[in-house]
């Protein structure tokens, strides 16, 4: 399988020092380009997936990430090493100076993946398939603020699911850019999505700075969101 990654044009949607890559995935393929660049641990993790599509999705996305980051820092893809922050956000390890501070984030859904990279600011990304029945009503109370729930109820029926997915992807991307993730109970409800300004000010003492986000509508049948730190 030829796993290509395409740089999406910013068109003013995000700063010039942020790169967003789209990776189309051939989930039916038995071969993964870049498999040889994966670490032994990554290959073992891929092998643990029961479904072939899940194995290909993980391994192909990881290989594309290594290719993108290798080009970014000028190192062979197979030589890259990764570490986790205290909150579980991946980071490059074993590189000197600012190279080790390159921020990156990955998300995949279905046959598509997005990879965000920046040398100067924190980034986070999320992608979800667009469906009319995604079961969002069951989790809306865990994800949305009272204001967001009110706006959802006021939205025409067919558009409710799409609006919820915009809230969901924005919150995921923002939290990933902050390096916190969604493990903490209630953390999604702490973020208020302003669809006009597309700005989120962190409300934790250890999360200084302003985050902005932009939705990605470039991929048919999917909605994505890219978040990036403005304080840099």
Superfamily of domain 6-229: 4'-phosphopantetheinyl transferase domain (3.90.470.20)
Q: H helices then E strands: how many in the chain?
A: 5, 10
Cα separation of 61 and 41, whole Å?
15
Q: What is the per-residue pLDDT for 1?
A: 42
Q: What is the per-residue pLDDT for 134?
A: 63
Cα separation of 103 and 80, whole Å?
14
Enter the tokens of residue 206: 């250890």
Enter the tokens of residue 171: 């919150």
> Sign of the CA dihedral 190, 136, 175, 88?
positive
Is 172 exposed, middle or buried, given 0-12, 13-18 or 19+ CB atoms closer than 10 A? buried
Q: What is the per-residue pLDDT for 47?
A: 94
Backbone phi and psi for residue 101, each to the nearest 5 degrees, phi listed first: -95, 5
**216 bridge partner residues:** 224
Is 73 exposed, middle or buried, given 0-12, 13-18 or 19+ CB atoms closer than 10 A? middle
Cα separation of 3 and 75, whole Å?
20
> Sign of the CA dihedral 58, 64, 69, 75?
positive
Cβ–Cβ under 8 Å, residues 122 and 228: yes
Q: What is the per-residue pLDDT for 205?
A: 40
What string of pLDDT tens digits covers the 232 residues of the chain? 445 799 999 999 999 999 999 999 999 887 888 999 999 999 999 999 999 999 999 999 999 999 999 999 999 999 999 998 777 788 999 888 777 789 999 999 999 999 999 999 999 999 999 986 668 888 899 899 999 999 999 998 878 999 999 999 999 999 999 887 665 656 788 788 888 878 775 555 445 467 899 999 999 999 999 999 987 5
Cα separation of 30 and 212, whole Å?
39
Please give the biggest Cα pair distance in the chain. Answer: 53
Q: What is the per-residue pLDDT for 97?
A: 76
């Amino acid at each position: 399988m030829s796993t290509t990654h395409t740089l999406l044009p910013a068109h003013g949607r995000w700063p010039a020092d942020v790169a967003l890559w789209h990776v189309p995935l051939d989930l039916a393929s038995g071969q993964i380009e870049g498999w040889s660049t994966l670490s032994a641990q990554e290959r073992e993790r891929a092998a643990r997936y029961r479904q072939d599509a899940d194995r290909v999705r993980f391994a192909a996305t990881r290989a594309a990430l290594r290719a993108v980051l290798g080009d970014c820092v000028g190192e062979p893809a197979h030589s890259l090493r990764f570490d986790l922050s205290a909150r579980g956000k991946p980071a490059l390890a074993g590189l000197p100076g600012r190279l080790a501070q390159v921020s990156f984030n990955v998300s995949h859904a279905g046959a598509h993946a997005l990879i965000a990279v920046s040398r100067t600011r924190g980034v986070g990304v999320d992608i979800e398939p667009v469906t009319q029945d995604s079961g969002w009503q069951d989790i809306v109370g865990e994800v949305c603020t009272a204001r967001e729930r009110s706006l959802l109820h006021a939205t025409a029926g067919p558009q409710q699911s799409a609006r919820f997915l915009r809230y969901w992807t924005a919150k995921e991307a923002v939290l990933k850019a902050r390096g916190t993730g969604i493990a903490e109970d209630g953390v999604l409800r702490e973020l208020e999505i302003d669809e006009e300004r597309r700005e989120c000010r962190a409300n934790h003492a250890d999360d200084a700075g302003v985050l902005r986000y932009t939705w990605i509508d470039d991929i048919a049948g999917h909605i994505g969101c890219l978040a990036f730190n403005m304080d840099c």
